Amino acid sequence: MTPHIAAKPGDIAETVLMPGDPYRAKWAAETYLTDAVCINEVRGMLGFTGMWNGNRVTIMGSGMGMPSMSIYANELMKDYGAQTIIRIGSCGGMQDDVKVRDVVLAMTATSTGTPSSTIFREIDYAPVCDFGLLQAAYAASQKRDTPTHVGSIYSSDTFYAERNDLTEQMIRHGVLAVEMEAAELYILAARYKRRALAVMTVSDHIITGESLPSDQRERTFGDMVEIALEAAFA
């Protein structure tokens, strides 16, 4: 047990999928896992452990933003022995060829700052995913014929950002999408020598303003969850 996770030793699998929304974690566990058991409800951050194709998996919310991700990923890796964490969530497209409903695999995650930034002092650390997970996720997406983009994303520490100049530079330099958690997850995975990847569905678009209707999100996000599960156990 940790300050934020009430799971007992052995309750959490070595492979953890983390959507931001705890209720999306509940939906994914009920949809894709067999014999799923709730292992955490502290602060409403629901977590479930069950089986997928003979493999033990935990699906647990991370909350919104890098500070929240940092708390849960730290405790999962350091105290519960999680070896692989895959973020599954939504992102905002930032390139013309990145369409709503497409999947984005984050090779790198740029940010203006993370909860870990202070330990690097003057170093501009570049967080990256686990290459083996990236390869497996891309192969899974191609097998499913899911439109998929691989490259750099931007992990923002603000949702209601007012830096249009910064957005313009992200777009200019080929950043595929914006979200709020991956950069810190990748840094923690490097620190603890674990595997991490962000697999995300484009739910809205920064350039066009298009947004995925809420009643279509679960069906579309299902592709992302299946890609993440296949990648974890490839």
User: Side chain identity at 78, as an amino acid letter?
Assistant: K
Q: Among all residues, which ones are annotated catalytic?
A: 204
Residues that constitute the known binding site for phosphate: 20, 24, 43, 87-90
Residues that constitute the known binding site: 4, 20, 24, 43, 87-90, 179-181, 203-204
In whole angstroms, what is the distance from residue 77 CA to residue 185 CA? 11
Res. 86 pLDDT band, cuts 50 70 90: very high
Is 20 a domain residue?
yes
Is 2 a domain residue?
no
| pLDDT tens for each residue of 98-129 | 999 999 999 999 999 999 999 998 999 999 99
Is 7 a domain residue?
no
Res. 163 pLDDT band, cuts 50 70 90: confident
| pLDDT tens for each residue of 175-192 | 999 999 999 999 999 999
Which structural domain, as residue segments, surrounds residue 116?
15-232
Residues that constitute the known binding site for a purine D-ribonucleoside: 4, 179-181, 203-204
Q: Does residue 216 have a pLDDT over 80? A: no
Q: Residue 18 burial by CB count (10 A; 0-12/13-18/19+): exposed, middle or buried?
A: buried
Is 8 a domain residue?
no
Q: Which residues pair with 202 in a beta bridge?
A: 91
In whole angstroms, what is the distance from residue 82 CA to residue 15 CA? 6
Q: Does residue 41 have a pLDDT over 80? A: yes
Q: What CATH number should be reported for the domain holding residue 123?
A: 3.40.50.1580
179-189 burial: b if 16+ Cβ within 10 Å, else e:
bbbbbbbbbbb
In whole angstroms, what is the distance from residue 129 CA to residue 86 CA? 10
Res. 162 pLDDT band, cuts 50 70 90: confident
Sign of CA dihedral 74, 87, 95, 149: positive
What is the per-residue pLDDT for 218? 66
| pLDDT tens for each residue of 56-68 | 999 999 999 999 9
Separation of CA 39 from chain center: 20
In whole angstroms, what is the distance from residue 142 CA to residue 148 CA? 8
Is 128 a domain residue?
yes
Considering its fold, how many domains does the chain have in total? Answer: 1
